[in-house]
A and B are shown apart, each in its own frame.
Chain A
Amino acid sequence: MIALVPKLPLAQGIDTALDWLTLHGAFITKAFSHVVSILIDALVGGLLWLPPWLLIAAVALLAWRAAGWRVALFSLFGLLLLWNLRLWSATLETFTLVLISTTISIAVGMPLGIAAALSRRTSKVVMPILDFMQTMPAFVYLIPAIPFFGLGAVSASVATVIFATPPTIRLTALGIRQVPGDLIEAADAFGSTRRQKLFKVQLPMAVPTIMAGINQTIMLSLSMVVIAAMIGAGGLGGKVWQAIQRLEPGNGFESGIAIVILAMILDRVTQRIGRP
């Protein structure tokens, strides 16, 4: 039966559209790619230039101030282990990608979240797009990223941003909408403008929720950065990918454990920031 109905050319359509975009828009994306790759290299270079023990001590100190001595101790020994396993530079590459992706995610996600919270119409447009972005298998983003941004870290971070931004948008919107109605009334009753209301009441009160969103974004970035190793993102994901191709379970687990350690440190530290 189905043979009688011709297949809709959905795939061809998307390909044609992407080809057209690549042809006419790639010079912009390539320029962007160039800038970001310089940034990434500079950051990784800078972090590698610092002696590892200094960086480890700094992270442990930060963890102690933000999340207490348990997390600090875990960070200290976890990072020392990574250094010992000769995974230090891979860890820094992965961390840099997460840092850049998360920064872009926050820069894009928070304004969108605010807009979605304040305008019902924006919310109606944005929310279905977020559903789409989150349910689409993450690998799929990698394919078109290559023609636009080339193989490597920049493609990886673009795919990561697409995959990891939704929680920041959603939880920013949620945090703002959750501000109790009588506080909004109080802000209005004393003659706040919309901007004053946003910056003096709504955003400060939404901080814990927004931070939960950013924490989610960081975790998703980390998981995506590993997947993005398939398009040459390097870092710890690259080591895992190598281990898969060479069937080396030992090396694979080593890198896998390194990712877990990095994830736990990032998670525990960012969870505490923004909490009263």
Chain B
Amino acid sequence: MQKIRIEKLSKIFGPHPEKALHLLDQGVDNAEIRKTGHAVGVANVSFDVEEGELLVIMGLSGSGKSTLVRCLNRLNTSSRGSIFIDGEDITRFDREQLLNLRRRKISMVFQHFALFPQRSVADNAAYGLEVQGIAPAERRARAVEALELVGLKGWEDSLPSQLSGGMQQRVGLARALAVKSDILLMDEAFSALDPLIRRDMQQELASLQRRMKKTIVFITHDLDEALQIGDRIVLMKDGRVVQIGTPEEILNKPADAYVERFVENVDMSRVLTARSVMGRARELAFPQDGPRTVLRKMTEGSDTSMLVVERDHTLVGTVTLDALDRAVKDGVGSIDGLIQRDAPTIDPDLPLTDIINLMATWPYRLPVVDEQRKLLGVVTRPRVINALAQNTPTEAAA
């Protein structure tokens, strides 16, 4: 279902927006329009955001992404076009409706946190509830609940200045979550954080999103981040939309040279997931098999381990070559006792970086399984190396 629908939205900064809009319609470019004393923030942008979707708006600074997202809660007033939220055109809202929209339906997380320095962490998180006129006891309870959600239990009475950057942004997130709005606008929310903390926050946002299913519009200038967290990505340049698509579509079918240049510099080990590098497991063992049978299958596959599955492809575990050799010498009849049932498995969405880490400690093949432990495929070292080699930036550029 559509949550937000943006129709031919334009935002012009300057004294006479109509004139600049007229020029825009005639196809005059931004640089020419700038000479008339107007700046094009957003130009004829249309797209939808689905309910429960995490949509990333991605572009360099000056691409109009921040301007666009500020039109969604009318921190910027759009010059032309419509924005429908739940079917209502918010560009026509009066003051009262606008206050209600901002109080209940949309909340925002800011790049530099924008916490109120003289207020405690709990009072910051409760700000949105406070302006709604909710009683102190209830808003405190809801703020504490939101802070718990972002992992800041016990920090309620600290001041923001006593917290690290990452923790401050958690407060910013808690402030937005406390009002229980359907829509979350995140303006470069993680851009001011250290890379490591940033990855933590991205993962945490993803896990929060799995539980809460909010509609999130996330702005970033970092394509890695966009690919990491976005269900879909809107790529912007000069106030216009260049491409809309899922991360795979953007990577595989860049719409033009501009997008292609972006995509070149992507760290593929973060973008590629187990699903995209796994292969079909051609040879599999069954628990009833004898060690000799399995060994024969393995020679064909030339590997040092074998995955054991039930008939319905539910994963049982892994047997290694060493264990099989010993079993043959000892004359064991079935491999059932040799199976390592706690051998690592991986999720199809696990990024390549994590797979590489896992491979450092587990030299055997890695089974990719779904939630029911059904075997989906297998990841081996040669496949990982191949995937990286094919997608390195230099390759892509050549």
Measuring CB to CB, which residues of chain A are less than 8 angstroms from any residue of chain B? 180, 182-183, 185-193, 196, 200-201, 204-205, 207, 276
Given A185-B75, A188-B102, verify A193-B112 contact (CB < 8 Å): no
Across the two chains, which residue of chain B brings its CB closest to A184? B114
Instruction: Enumerate the 10 nearest inter-chain pairs by beta-carbon distance, A residue then B residue, closest first.
Output: A191-B103, A191-B102, A186-B114, A190-B128, A182-B114, A189-B108, A192-B131, A191-B99, A204-B118, A196-B131
User: Among B100, B116, B119, B175, which residue has its beta carbon within 8 angstroms of that of A191?
Assistant: B100
Measuring CB to CB, which residues of chain B are less than 8 angstroms from any residue of chain A? 73, 75, 99-104, 106-108, 110-112, 114-119, 127-128, 130-132, 175, 179, 185
Given A191-B102, A193-B99, A205-B116, verify A186-B131 contact (CB < 8 Å): no
Interchain residue pairs with CB less than 8 A apart (26): A182-B114, A183-B116, A185-B75, A186-B108, A187-B127, A188-B75, A188-B102, A189-B75, A189-B102, A189-B108, A190-B102, A190-B103, A190-B107, A190-B128, A190-B175, A190-B179, A191-B99, A191-B102, A191-B103, A191-B128, A191-B132, A193-B99, A196-B131, A200-B127, A201-B116, A204-B116
User: Among B103, B117, B130, which residue has its beta carbon within 8 angstroms of that of A205?
Assistant: B117
Roughly how many angstroms separate A178 CA and B266 CA in the complex, as a whole number?
40
User: Among A186, A188, A189, A200, which residue has its beta carbon within 8 angstroms of that of B130?
Assistant: A200
Roughly how many angstroms separate A205 CA and B114 CA in the complex, as a whole number?
13
Roughly how many angstroms separate A205 CA and B111 CA in the complex, as a whole number?
20
Given contacts A186-B116, A188-B102, A189-B73, 9 further A-B contacts (CB under 8 A): A182-B112, A183-B114, A185-B110, A189-B107, A189-B185, A190-B103, A191-B102, A201-B116, A205-B118
- Residues of chain A within 8 A (CB-CB) of B102 are 188-191
Roughly how many angstroms separate A193 CA and B128 CA in the complex, as a whole number?
12
Roughly how many angstroms separate A185 CA and B112 CA in the complex, as a whole number?
12
How many contacting A-B pairs (Cβ < 8 A)?
62
Across the two chains, which residue of chain B brings its CB closest to A197? B131
Given A191-B128, A196-B131, A200-B130, verify A186-B117 contact (CB < 8 Å): no
Of the candidates A188, A189, A192, the one having the most CB atoms from chain B within 10 angstroms of its own CB is A189
The distance from the CB of B388 to the nearest CB of chain A, in whole angstroms, is 40
The distance from the CB of B32 to the nearest CB of chain A, in whole angstroms, is 29
Roughly how many angstroms separate A186 CA and B75 CA in the complex, as a whole number?
10
Of the candidates B110, B111, B114, B128, the one having the most CB atoms from chain A within 10 angstroms of its own CB is B114
The distance from the CB of B133 to the nearest CB of chain A, in whole angstroms, is 10
Roughly how many angstroms separate A187 CA and B102 CA in the complex, as a whole number?
10
Given A190-B179, A193-B99, A204-B118, verify A182-B131 contact (CB < 8 Å): no
- Residues of chain B within 8 A (CB-CB) of A193 are 99, 131
Roughly how many angstroms separate A173 CA and B73 CA in the complex, as a whole number?
28
Roughly how many angstroms separate A196 CA and B133 CA in the complex, as a whole number?
11
- Residues of chain A within 8 A (CB-CB) of B128 are 190-191
- Residues of chain A within 8 A (CB-CB) of B116 are 183, 186, 200-201, 204-205
Given A188-B75, A191-B99, verify A200-B117 contact (CB < 8 Å): no
Roughly how many angstroms separate A192 CA and B95 CA in the complex, as a whole number?
11
- Residues of chain B within 8 A (CB-CB) of A276 are 118
- Residues of chain B within 8 A (CB-CB) of A201 are 116
The distance from the CB of B243 to the nearest CB of chain A, in whole angstroms, is 28
Roughly how many angstroms separate A190 CA and B116 CA in the complex, as a whole number?
13
Roughly how many angstroms separate A190 CA and B75 CA in the complex, as a whole number?
11
Across the two chains, which residue of chain A brings its CB closest to B103? A191
The distance from the CB of A233 to the nearest CB of chain B, in whole angstroms, is 39
- Residues of chain A within 8 A (CB-CB) of B106 are 189
- Residues of chain B within 8 A (CB-CB) of A200 are 116, 127, 130-131
Across the two chains, which residue of chain A brings its CB closest to B113? A182
Roughly how many angstroms separate A215 CA and B99 CA in the complex, as a whole number?
38
A191–B131 CB distance below 8 A: yes
Roughly how many angstroms separate A189 CA and B70 CA in the complex, as a whole number?
9
Roughly how many angstroms separate A207 CA and B130 CA in the complex, as a whole number?
21
- Residues of chain A within 8 A (CB-CB) of B185 are 189
Across the two chains, which residue of chain A brings its CB closest to B111? A182
Roughly how many angstroms separate A191 CA and B73 CA in the complex, as a whole number?
10
Roughly how many angstroms separate A196 CA and B110 CA in the complex, as a whole number?
20
Across the two chains, which residue of chain B brings its CB closest to A181? B114
Across the two chains, which residue of chain A brings its CB closest to B108? A189
The distance from the CB of A178 to the nearest CB of chain B, in whole angstroms, is 13
Across the two chains, which residue of chain A brings its CB closest to B129? A190
The distance from the CB of A105 to the nearest CB of chain B, in whole angstroms, is 25
- Residues of chain B within 8 A (CB-CB) of A207 are 118
Roughly how many angstroms separate A189 CA and B71 CA in the complex, as a whole number?
11
- Residues of chain B within 8 A (CB-CB) of A186 are 108, 110, 114-116, 127
Of the candidates A186, A193, A200, the one having the most CB atoms from chain B within 10 angstroms of its own CB is A186
The distance from the CB of A198 to the nearest CB of chain B, in whole angstroms, is 12
- Residues of chain A within 8 A (CB-CB) of B119 are 204
Roughly how many angstroms separate A180 CA and B73 CA in the complex, as a whole number?
19
Roughly how many angstroms separate A190 CA and B117 CA in the complex, as a whole number?
17
- Residues of chain B within 8 A (CB-CB) of A182 are 110-112, 114
The distance from the CB of A205 to the nearest CB of chain B, in whole angstroms, is 7
Roughly how many angstroms separate A81 CA and B103 CA in the complex, as a whole number?
60
- Residues of chain A within 8 A (CB-CB) of B104 are 191
- Residues of chain B within 8 A (CB-CB) of A191 are 99-104, 128, 131-132
The distance from the CB of A120 to the nearest CB of chain B, in whole angstroms, is 16
- Residues of chain B within 8 A (CB-CB) of A183 are 114, 116
Roughly how many angstroms separate A201 CA and B108 CA in the complex, as a whole number?
17
A190–B127 CB distance below 8 A: yes
Roughly how many angstroms separate A189 CA and B111 CA in the complex, as a whole number?
14
- Residues of chain A within 8 A (CB-CB) of B179 are 190
The distance from the CB of B66 to the nearest CB of chain A, in whole angstroms, is 11
The distance from the CB of A48 to the nearest CB of chain B, in whole angstroms, is 39
